[in-house]
């Protein structure tokens, strides 16, 4: 079979190709997922994903014309012997001393220079790198051009460092050929610690039963059957299983063909990464659940929060003071003028020191925001705020997977330290100075004065009459209204009407005072709700937003 035929055959049965662009898009989505989820999820949970994204980035930026295939297995299974036999050169020492290979060897089919950066990244010592290309057998070896074959140390070594090196390399290579021998093919460590971990990688795994030359054909069949059964248990039923011998070149044909196919497809690197991406994204799937609700934090929860915050910030006291102040100021403006003076002696409820919005006398800069000096929240009020803040977090976390509860709670509480100041400023701005003097107050005030003037005029007139009588001057003749002399009417009518007017207006004043309180309450509630949204709900929304983005990104990673 010519090289061209071989490649065509190989490509003909190449089903399920991985599209490089699609893989890159999925990896980009994984980076996005990590970027948004990283600040909120536990450190340990994202390590595998971070490692994969970094490794994939590096591998894809390096030569995709090369396929890195590792020969892995237990000590003495014949990895180095197979490596040499495939290269048809004695490159890696094989022997009876166990373990023999301590650091990986590499053989590159084709020129070494283009593969050097890849080998630097994989981490093969420069003196352990060889090339397999000669003019003599050029055509024979041409089908393997692009193959970078690695001879790994043993994973079950008495040398601890060997296992670490094997584990590191197995994380980086594009394809693995597991080399087992007739004695140890059922090894527990091999199956549990290694093959099972590769179950997502059936498409880049080949298992060879080496040293088959030591078995009869029948025994080889029996062992192969047993090995396949074990591999099925490992979840690797799709991996090809071949019998090989490093000592008989004829027993390498199948393995060589399998490697030629791998090299021709140039798919192993992509498949490896796609398989890893599947595994990692499956693990991440438990961190993402249903979409976060549209209005994640319902009005009722926000209202409860605003109520607790209002109480803790003393908003009810301000509202009550607003009502009192309305009455106080109405009494001054519309009351019976003689009593107004007494009223004035009492302090305005909204001008009490604790509600004052004037900057303190301690020389604060003039542009500081207004603030009250209401008393600090008591323990019960603080506890109520704590509860409702946690309720906001719990409400948002309800539909989400468990691990989002902690970041949501932390977000809800992240700015609670700033809450007292913010609330105080909000109340100082929205609360006091709410009572504006209605026009009718002034009108009534004028009427009251007119009545007083009338009463005073009546009194003066009457006094003048008495004085005239005392001094035996000619008597004053008072005009009469009905039977009542006008001055008496002016005096009594002025006083009586003034008091009557004041009494009649009382319900109106009370109504106005209650309305002023309700308005103040509304304004305060709006201001406090604004603070609640900014300081508690917004940080929670930020986390929910990250969740939604992470969810969208993971969906892209998992779409195939
Ligand atoms: N008969 C026979 N002997 C083999 C075969 N492969 C390897 N051997 C022998 O098995 C012994 C171990 O071979 P190595 O190639 O050094 O084994 P290895 O897997 O590289 O061992 P480590 O480097 O220690 O991990 C050597 O004596 C080889 O000659 C084979 O296919 N058939
Ligand atoms: Mg070896």
How do residues 102-154 score in pLDDT, each as one tens digit? Answer: 999 999 999 889 999 999 999 999 999 999 876 555 567 889 999 999 999 99
> Which of 72, 75, 80 has most ligand 1 atoms within 8 Å of its beta carbon, as the pocket-test mutant?
80
Of 419, 421, 416, 415, the residue nearest 373 (C-alpha): 421
Structural contact between residues 13 and 262, judged by C-beta atoms closer than 8 angstroms = no
Distance CA 52, CA 49 (A): 5
pLDDT band at 315 (very low <50, low <70, confident <90, very high): confident
Per DSSP, which regions of 48-202 are E strands?
A: 67-73, 105-108, 129-131, 147-151, 175-180
Q: What is the pTM of this model?
A: 0.79
Question: Which residue matches tokens 């209202």?
Answer: 303
* Residues facing residue 375 across a β-bridge: none
Q: Over 70: is that where the pLDDT of 352 sits?
A: no
Structural contact between residues 268 and 368, judged by C-beta atoms closer than 8 angstroms = no
Q: Over 70: is that where the pLDDT of 313 sits?
A: yes
| Virtual torsion, Cα 29, 30, 32, 35, nearest 10 deg | 180
* Residues facing residue 150 across a β-bridge: 70, 106
pLDDT value for 142: 86
What pLDDT, in 10s, does the model give residues 197-233?
A: 999 999 999 999 999 999 999 999 999 999 999 999 9
Exposure string over 327-345, b if 16+ CB within 10 A, otherwise e: bbbbbbbbbbbeebeebee
How many helices (DSSP H) and strands (DSSP E) are in the chain?
Answer: 20, 9
Percentage of residues in the chain with pLDDT exceeding 90? Answer: 60
Residue 95 three-state SS: coil
pLDDT band at 12 (very low <50, low <70, confident <90, very high): very low
Per DSSP, which regions of 105-253 are E strands?
A: 105-108, 129-131, 147-151, 175-180, 205-209, 241-243
Q: Over 50: is that where the pLDDT of 505 sits?
A: yes
pLDDT value for 435: 60
Distance CA 551, CA 30 (A): 11
Centre a 10 Å sphere on the Cβ of residue 451 and count the other Cβ atoms it contains.
22
Percentage of residues in the chain with pLDDT exceeding 70? Answer: 90
Q: Over 80: is that where the pLDDT of 444 sits?
A: yes
Cβ of 154 closer than 6 Å to ligand 1, yes or no, is: yes
pLDDT value for 370: 58
What pLDDT, in 10s, does the model give residues 447-479?
A: 999 999 999 999 999 999 899 888 888 877 888
| Overall size of the chain counted in residues | 560
Angle between helix axes 268-284 and 20-37 (nearest 10 degrees) is: 30
Question: Over the chain, what is the mean pLDDT?
Answer: 88
Cβ of 458 closer than 6 Å to ligand 1, yes or no, is: no
Tokens, residue 441: 């107050």
Of 435, 434, 454, the residue nearest 501 (C-alpha): 454
Q: Over 50: is that where the pLDDT of 327 sits?
A: yes
Tokens, residue 107: 């053989």
pLDDT value for 361: 43
- Count Cβ atoms within 10 A of the Cβ of residue 210 and give its class: 0-12 exposed, 13-18 middle, 19 or more buried: buried
Cβ of 493 closer than 6 Å to ligand 1, yes or no, is: no
pLDDT value for 378: 77
Highest mean pLDDT among 99-103, 384-388, 549-553 belongs to 549-553
- Mean pLDDT score, 300-329: 88
Alpha carbon of 268 to ligand 1 centroid (Å): 27
Distance CA 26, CA 18 (A): 12
pLDDT value for 365: 44
Surrounding residues of ion ligand 2, Cβ less than 5 A: 79-80, 100-101
Ligand number nearest CA of 155 is 1
Distance CA 199, CA 176 (A): 12
The Cα-based distances of 549 to 392, 515, 542, 553 in angstroms read 21, 47, 11, 6
- Mean pLDDT score, 362-390: 69
Cβ of 67 closer than 6 Å to ligand 1, yes or no, is: no
Ligand number nearest CA of 100 is 1
pLDDT value for 433: 58
* Residues facing residue 131 across a β-bridge: 108
Cβ of 74 closer than 6 Å to ligand 1, yes or no, is: no
Cβ of 71 closer than 6 Å to ligand 1, yes or no, is: no
Q: Over 80: is that where the pLDDT of 250 sits?
A: yes
User: By 3-state DSSP, what share of the chain in percent is helix, strand and coil, each rounded to 5?
Assistant: 65, 5, 30
- Mean pLDDT score, 45-70: 96
Ligand number nearest CA of 86 is 1
Cβ of 101 closer than 6 Å to ligand 1, yes or no, is: yes
- The secondary element (H helix, E strand) that includes residue 485 is strand 484-485
Distance of CA 126 to the CA centre of its chain: 45
What pLDDT, in 10s, does the model give residues 63-108?
A: 999 999 999 999 999 999 999 999 998 998 987 778 889 999 999 9
Q: Over 70: is that where the pLDDT of 324 sits?
A: yes
Of 259, 315, 547, the residue nearest 427 (C-alpha): 315
Structural contact between residues 384 and 313, judged by C-beta atoms closer than 8 angstroms = no
pLDDT value for 339: 77
Q: Over 60: is that where the pLDDT of 177 sits?
A: yes
R_g of the chain computed on alpha carbons: 46
- Higher-confidence residue of 430 and 100: namely 100
Structural contact between residues 557 and 34, judged by C-beta atoms closer than 8 angstroms = no
Centre a 10 Å sphere on the Cβ of residue 280 and count the other Cβ atoms it contains.
20
pLDDT value for 353: 54
Distance CA 49, CA 79 (A): 31
Tokens, residue 211: 């040293």
Cβ of 79 closer than 6 Å to ligand 1, yes or no, is: yes
- The secondary element (H helix, E strand) that includes residue 468 is helix 439-470
Structural contact between residues 256 and 87, judged by C-beta atoms closer than 8 angstroms = no
- Mean pLDDT score, 182-195: 95
Q: Over 50: is that where the pLDDT of 19 sits?
A: yes
Alpha carbon of 319 to ligand 1 centroid (Å): 91
Q: Over 80: is that where the pLDDT of 302 sits?
A: yes
């Amino acid at each position: 079979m010519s090289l061209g035929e071989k490649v065509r055959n190989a490509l003909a049965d190449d089903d399920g190709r991985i599209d490089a662009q699609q893989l890159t898009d999925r990896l980009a989505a994984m980076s996005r997922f990590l970027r948004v989820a990283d600040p909120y999820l536990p450190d340990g949970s994202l390590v595998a994903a971070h490692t994969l994204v970094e490794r994939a980035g590096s591998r894809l930026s390096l030569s995709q014309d090369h396929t890195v295939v590792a020969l892995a297995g237990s000590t003495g299974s014949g990895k180095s012997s197979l490596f040499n036999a495939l290269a048809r050169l004695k490159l890696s020492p094989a022997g009876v001393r166990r373990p023999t290979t301590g650091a990986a060897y590499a053989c590159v089919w084709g020129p070494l220079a283009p593969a050097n950066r890849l080998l630097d990244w994989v981490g093969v010592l420069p003196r352990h790198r060889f090339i397999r290309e000669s003019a003599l057998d050029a055509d024979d070896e041409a089908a393997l051009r692009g193959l970078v074959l690695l001879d790994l140390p043993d994973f079950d070594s008495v040398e601890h460092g060997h296992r670490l090196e094997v584990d590191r390399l197995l994380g980086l290579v594009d394809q693995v050929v597991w080399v087992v021998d007739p004695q140890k093919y059922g090894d527990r460590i091999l199956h549990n610690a290694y093959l099972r971990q590769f179950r997502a990688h059936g498409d880049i795994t080949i298992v060879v039963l080496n040293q088959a030359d030591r078995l009869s054909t029948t025994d080889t069949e029996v062992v192969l059957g047993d090995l396949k059964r074990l591999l099925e248990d490992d979840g690797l039923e799709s991996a090809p299983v071949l019998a090989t011998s490093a000592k008989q070149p004829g027993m390498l044909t199948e393995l060589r063909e399998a490697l030629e196919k791998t090299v021709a497809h140039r798919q192993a690197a992509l498949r490896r990464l796609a398989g890893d991406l599947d595994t990692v994204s499956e693990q991440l799937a438990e961190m993402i659940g249903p979409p976060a609700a549209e209005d994640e934090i319902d009005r009722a929860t926000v209202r409860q929060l605003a109520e607790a915050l209002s109480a803790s910030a003393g908003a009810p006291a301000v509202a009550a003071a607003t009502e009192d102040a309305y009455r106080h100021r109405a009494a001054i403006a519309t009351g019976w003028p003689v009593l107004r003076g007494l009223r004035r002696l009492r302090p305005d409820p909204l001008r009490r020191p604790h509600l004052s919005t004037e900057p303190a006398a301690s020389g604060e800069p003039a542009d500081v925001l207004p603030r009250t000096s209401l008393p600090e929240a008591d323990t019960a009020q603080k506890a109520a705020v704590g509860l409702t803040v946690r309720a906001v977090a719990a409400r948002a976390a309800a539909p989400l997977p468990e691990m989002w509860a902690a970041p949501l709670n932390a977000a809800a509480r992240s700015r609670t330290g700033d809450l007292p100041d913010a609330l105080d400023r909000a109340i100082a701005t929205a609360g006091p100075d709410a009572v504006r003097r209605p026009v009718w107050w002034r009108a009534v005030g004028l009427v009251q004065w007119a009545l007083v003037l009338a009463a005073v005029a009546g009194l003066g007139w009457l006094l003048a009459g008495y004085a005239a009588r005392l001094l035996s001057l000619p008597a004053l003749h008072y005009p009469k209204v009905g039977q009542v002399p006008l001055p008496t009417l002016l005096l009594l009518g002025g006083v009586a009407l003034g008091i009557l007017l004041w009494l009649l207006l009382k319900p109106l004043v009370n109504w106005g005072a209650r309305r002023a309180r309700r308005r103040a309450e509304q304004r305060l509630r709006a201001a406090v709700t604004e603070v609640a949204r900014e300081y508690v709900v917004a940080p929670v929304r930020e986390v929910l937003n990250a969740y939604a983005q992470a969810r969208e990104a993971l969906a892209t990673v998992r779409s195939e």
